[in-house]
Amino acid sequence: MTLKELLMKPEFSRLTLINREGDLERTVLTVESTETPDVAAYLPGNSLLLTTGMAFKDRPEEFLKFIQSLNDISCIGLAIKLGRFLDELAPEVIALADKLKFPLLRIPLECTLGEVYHGMLSHIWNNENDNLLNALNIQKKFSTLLLSGAPMKNMLNNLGMLLDKPVVILDLFGEIYEYGYKCGPEDRKLSRETFARMEEVFSGQPDEPYYMDEQCRTDKICIFPIRGISCNTYYLCVLHTEKVPAELSSLMIEEVLLIFGIYFYKNLYLICNKARFKEEFLQILLNRFEKETWTRRQMLTLGERYGFRAGSYYRVIVAQIPVTDQKNFQIGDFTKREERYLLIFQWIEEKLRKKYGNKIMFLPETDRWRYVMIMQEELKDIEKVLKDIYQRIEKGFGILLRFSFGNSTERPEEISRSYMEALEIFQGGSEEKTEGYISYYRPKNIMELLKSVSGNQIQELCLYTLKELAYPKDEMTEELKKTLSTYLDCRCSVSKTAEMMFLHRNTIKYRIKKCEEILNIDFENPNDCFSLQVGLMLSDYRKGV
């Protein structure tokens, strides 16, 4: 209850505000009475103090210190019975109270402190008892809805009717999750705008209720965070209200937020079950069942419920969450990582569904902390959509997703190949980047493949194929090797080789004859020529490493 609401009661209407700037919107939880000047050390927070001011008669400088000390401990105001020890308050005392917005109340001379004290305290206790009873009733009502499996829409309708105000649930990206009673398009728009403004004010999402600046507009809105396992995952918005609604005491709102928090925690398991079914179908697409093979018809039949369809274009995009350890996804024991993974899964899935329908499938790979997108037709604006996803996930979770594209295929049976190509990028394969977080697969060239072969193996193969020409030890052998390489590049043409090397034809013939004697091969055999070309390439590669 605020001090303003307390003073509006008929039995306390005779108390008047002395200083103009006193803030009557402060919440009062209890009333205390004292004449001791050092009482600030013993007062509970949010208390209203009653006094005659006896200890400060003719001592305004001590009264200034007293008011400052009360304000510092969140005392909500001071009610003084003037006319007994103090006739009026000194101007400097009133000025300090105005500066602090600390309420100074005048108790009429005909009222006793005991009468005011007991009357106020009794009223506050009765009000708290009413709030407690209301909170328990709300807990019972919403718990029953939760246990009966009522959707969030029903819960919000009940809350909206209870408050007679529009209510909205926003996700952590500021998008509408659900709305209730009397919540029209303008109300939903206002809730999104206020959430965006809140993020600007706090440079993120606050952990405490947020109230829209009263000077901003006439339509007030309250935003209450709903806590998940590790962070605020959703937000309850109450529109067209002044600060915390009178109908929602702190106990009542705590009960509502607790029930909503349990609802969303329960919802994580529903998301997880959905993800597991989709992941099983992904295993089929990727041919991970060793004892079973699936025909195209079977794939299409099983995948129909997930939006899989027959076509002539399939392309895999893998989205990888960075992980610092190899812990598996805990299905029955959610931690911060599982919650984060499932919320991202739910949000991206819904975004892709709204944007593309069944043009793209979105499947989870939980144990590898990845997501797999399967394009079922070419999407020209997919990079733009991935950029938005990347930015929103970074802002909402502080996670830097990476996306990799495999090549397209025309057959469902080859989706696994596109997946492996996309995955190879994360495992150190070749890639062509467009953005720092988007990569496209390209096949390795022969030199990149050689990186996986040991130096000893390359050296042995070169010596076996080229013999002493593999690693020349004198100038003559070096010239023979150069001539052999050019001769093979010129498709065994003496004339073209002589032209390329600026040498006489007879010189080329002589050198080639020497190579034949050393290598004991026939240059008319294509297989021998290919082996020599590979050997020459490998010997040069080995020399450069």
Whether the per-residue pLDDT at 93 is higher than 80: the answer is yes
pLDDT of residue 6: 86
Alpha carbons within 13 A on the beta-carbon side of 422:
29
> Does 133 reside within a domain?
no
> Does 368 reside within a domain?
yes
Read off the pLDDT of residues 506-539 as tens digits, 9 standing for 90 and up.
999 999 999 988 998 878 888 888 888 888 888 8
Q: Are residues 175 and 193 in the same domain?
A: yes
Whether the per-residue pLDDT at 43 is higher than 70: the answer is yes
**Rounded Cα gap, residues 517 and 514, in angstroms:** 5
Whether the per-residue pLDDT at 545 is higher than 50: the answer is no
Q: Are residues 288 and 309 in the same domain?
A: yes
Read off the pLDDT of residues 182-212 as tens digits, 9 standing for 90 and up.
899 999 998 888 888 877 665 555 556 665 5
> Does 141 reside within a domain?
no
Q: Are residues 474 and 494 in the same domain?
A: yes
> Does 129 reside within a domain?
no
Which of 162-176, 242-256, 349-363 bottoms out in mean pLDDT, i.e. has the lowest? 242-256
> Does 526 reside within a domain?
yes
**Rounded Cα gap, residues 123 and 105, in angstroms:** 18
Domain count, the chain: 4
**What CATH number does the domain containing 284 carry?**
3.30.70.270
Q: Are residues 22 and 74 in the same domain?
A: yes
**What CATH number does the domain containing 519 carry?**
1.10.10.2840
**Rounded Cα gap, residues 313 and 412, in angstroms:** 9
> Does 82 reside within a domain?
yes
Which of 119-133, 327-341, 404-418, 432-446 bottoms out in mean pLDDT, i.e. has the lowest? 432-446
Q: Are residues 417 and 494 in the same domain?
A: no
> Does 465 reside within a domain?
yes
- Strands of the sheet containing 167-171, edge to edge, are 176-179, 167-171, 232-239, 221-227, 210-211
Q: What number is the average pLDDT over the span 307-336?
A: 86
Diameter of the chain by CA atoms? Answer: 133
Pairing of strands 315-320, 402-405: antiparallel
> Does 136 reside within a domain?
no
| Interior angle at CA 231, CA 230 and CA 237, nearest 5 | 145
Q: Are residues 160 and 213 in the same domain?
A: yes
- Strands of the sheet containing 30-33, edge to edge, are 16-17, 104-107, 77-81, 47-51, 30-33
Please, is 447 exposed, middle or buried when counting C-beta atoms within 10 Å of its C-beta (0-12, 13-18, 19+)? exposed
Q: Are residues 95 and 160 in the same domain?
A: no
Q: Are residues 111 and 168 in the same domain?
A: no
Read off the pLDDT of residues 239-275 as tens digits, 9 standing for 90 and up.
887 655 544 566 778 888 899 999 999 999 999 999 9
Q: Are residues 54 and 69 in the same domain?
A: yes
Where does a domain end: 406, 426, 443? 443
Task: Give residue 163's domain range.
Answer: 149-248
Q: Are residues 498 and 416 in the same domain?
A: no
**What CATH number does the domain containing 75 carry?**
3.40.1390.20
Q: Are residues 357 and 424 in the same domain?
A: yes
Q: 178-191 burial by CB neighbour count: b if 16+ within 10 A, else e? A: bbbbbbeeebbebb
Q: Are residues 71 and 159 in the same domain?
A: no
Q: What number is the average pLDDT over the span 436-449?
A: 68
